[in-house]
Structure 1
Amino acid sequence: MKSPKTAKLVCIYIHENDRWRGKPLYVALTQLLREKNIGVVTVIRGRMGVGPNGIIKDNHFWPIHGDYPIILECLDQADRINAVLPEINRMLTKGKYIVVDGEMWENSNGRNFDR
């Protein structure tokens, strides 16, 4: 196992219907993170959530379409995440995000972050 690298995890909380320049915000953010070579990006669609307005968003009864919670997580070395944070902040007119400092470990079969 390799020694850990200083890393940051960013969790972005938005909604499915949030847009950026005509496309879904989660798609635009994923494309940005890919262009910036961020190592790990995952988009998670929530089944249920409560936003700052207190409204419960639930797809239990209406599973076809809705404005459901989206969590976008990205993980990479701290310097790479720090470089893209201003662009993430600019794109988020709604929603919130959290940045967590930590150590990134990878097993011998994992993706190489030493690009």
Structure 2
Amino acid sequence: MTASSGRALRLTVVVGENDTWRHRPLYSEIVHRAHAAGLAGASVFRGIEGFGASSLIHTARLLSLGEDLPVAVVIVDTAPRVRAFLPQLGELVTDGLVTVDECEVIRYAGPGDRPGTPDTDGEKSP
């Protein structure tokens, strides 16, 4: 995102922890592709319990079923950038849930965006 606040889309992809893409965790492939596409950021959250289309409940409380917990990859960026990324998900996500929601970004800033901290050139920002 170029602006520090404003209207955006939140893309959420829910897959299984054990889902893979070419021997790599699927959630990791999604994050790396989002990074390569120049999206503002991506975070992965591991669920402790859930069920999906299979109706099988996965939970961290039972040893035998705690092996394939749900994970959610959340990406927030401008609508055009998120929509441009969606075709890549069509290739990757065969089982899971993909949602897009409108949201409002209140603050989006990195360490160099705080007043009085060095920016990427080593200069202090005002």
| TM-score for the superposition, normalised by structure 1 | 0.83
Query: Whose strand fraction is larger, Structure 1's or Structure 2's?
Result: 1
Partner of 2:81: 80
CA RMSD of aligned residues (A): 2.0
Please tell me whether the aligned partners of residues 52 and 96 of structure 2 are also in contact (alpha carbons under 8 angstroms).
no
Partner of 1:58: 59
Task: Provide, for residues 53-97 of structure 1, a one-character-per-residue CA deviation record: whole Å limited to 9, x for no partner.
Answer: 11110111329x601101110001111111111111221111111
Is residue 2:16 matched to residue 1:49?
A: no
SS at match of 1:11: strand
SS at match of 1:27: helix
Is residue 2:16 matched to residue 1:15?
A: yes
Measured in 1, the distance between the counterparts of 2:83 and 2:102 equals 11
> Which structure's relative contact order is higher, taking Cα pairs within 8 Å and 6+ residues apart?
1
Counting matched residue pairs gives 108
| TM-score for the superposition, normalised by structure 2 | 0.76
Measured in 1, the distance between the counterparts of 2:41 and 2:91 equals 21
The unaligned stretches of length 5 or more in structure 2 are 114-126
How far has the Cα of 1:51 moved from its partner?
A: 1.5
Measured in 2, the distance between the counterparts of 1:35 and 1:27 equals 12
SS at match of 2:72: strand
Give the letter aligned to residue 12 of structure 1: V
What percent identity do the matched residue pairs reach? Answer: 26
Q: Alpha carbons of 1:3 and 1:15: their partners in 2 closer, same or farther (altered >3 Å)?
A: closer
* Aligned pairs for 1:19-30 within 5 A: 19-30=20-31
Partner of 1:90: 91
Partner of 1:69: 70
* Bigger Rg, structure 1 or 2: 2
How far has the Cα of 1:34 moved from its partner?
A: 0.8
Measured in 2, the distance between the counterparts of 1:84 and 1:35 equals 10
The unaligned stretches of length 5 or more in structure 1 are none
